[in-house]
Structure 1
């Protein structure tokens, strides 16, 4: 079996450091927030070239609180993409605002910047681009549009730890950047986790209060807040893993280059890397008109794959109330029917990549 992601192999490679970090938290009994989380916040902010970082319990919470800190609420509209994990859209709905979708670029699969401006109305308050699969959205046009219209830009960087847009780390380009540390992410916790980064001290202060019941000091509730705090153990684990993220990223990029080479003459479409992008390959996604048959053939050969994502959000039953229909975003719908994610993690071997690539070439 060739796994889609090998979390056990990654843990075993850093087991001694992880075990020591977890034991330190157990001995300190700082189980919620605490010194390890505070240290991680400082280190992660520095890593992202941002002034502030606030650690949270999930990436979804990061998006939710980022929107609230930016003043997004009932009656507002937030422009985003329908081709993303549902959390991007759910966070907008949590605030009472309305998601407004813009189709994706057919090459990068990120939001089509040429279609954003026509979606802006008097109710629009923010743009929420998604750095999908580890490749940044085209941020310069987005920032220019936002500046012209007085809009906030919140980056969904849940899949893009260490990615860069024109030598700028994602998350630090817009007003607020949001990250997930779900275990399978490029920087993953051993449980749930998330964070925001920002250069705005007021946003950071507000999000810190919102994550901890709206308290600025214990039992003094300034805002109506939430229980979105990071566990101390996750902070300690993430501190260890952050030290390896550069090396793991280079391994992913090397694996992607080998896939590109081995699949160059196949009938699948390999990922495009945009000229502005330092792609970190959270997933390595190919396209095939015979996607479902290809996935089944690979599974029969012991090769795990994924689909990110089979149904765009505007066609999900849960969001039928938004009033969209099939055909509204044709590029997102076409791509959703064809994408297949091949095994990708730093721990993959060249031999495994060769086996997967040969199986793909033989199957389509």
Structure 2
């Protein structure tokens, strides 16, 4: 959501309250909407007043605790969490919130003790399993985290957050079971009639990791699911789809992805540079120049000089790039600034 969406959400919630809806749920939405606009102090004030009006709503207490912690007071947040747990001792959400605050405060031993208690009490609770996996990962125990996530995905194969964590863990550990990612994900997607853009981004990421020729049919199935969404994907994802479709010889998907990029782009310099690099080896000098001009069409003018130098280097090597920079001092300065920013980030 963009800032305007949060402002609209706040207005709608405020209007509903003026019309008589004083439910805790609506007040939580009202508080979250103002907080997501960056007005943390106002959100805290509203949360305190909401708790006074609805002291028996545990979700309001959780929201207030999170706001206090994000305002730089995790110690006070922990105190509030412990008080809330006296009132709602069986609340898994409050226990998980306390766990995250203990981690934030660096109280690892106590956090581990609380985590073991949760694991014994609610091992099949998806929220608990996610917390356990994230805890293990944060302390470098990635294979232990993988074991927990696999158990969670047996219980909830459609859990997007669990699948993304699974993908990240497999990448981080160079896990030998990387080949099982795509077939497993395809099973989850087939069982989900509402294939979303979030699912598409996940599927595309896994497709890039699946290079074993034995899974060619799974890759083809993934491309069949992805290419109908091409026009609504971000440009970098369209490029990734184009590259994967080419790799798998799915000509129709490759054509759709490339057409989508060229309809009103490329607008991202990296996408333009990648497309030039992929094609310039098959073109004459004149065709390369025409291609470069076309790829620059929608790129912001301030980035033309640096990109043109990159095209020169890709087409004719470093000497050509050096010649271009010597004739275009603005390009040299812009390139230096970009390099400095890249190194500092």
Structure of higher RCO (CA pairs closer than 8 Å, 6+ residues apart): 1
TM-score for both structures, normalised by structure 1: 0.23
Structure with the higher fraction of residues in helix conformation:
2
- Bigger-Rg structure (1/2): 2
Greater strand proportion:
1
* TM superposition score normalised by structure 2: 0.23
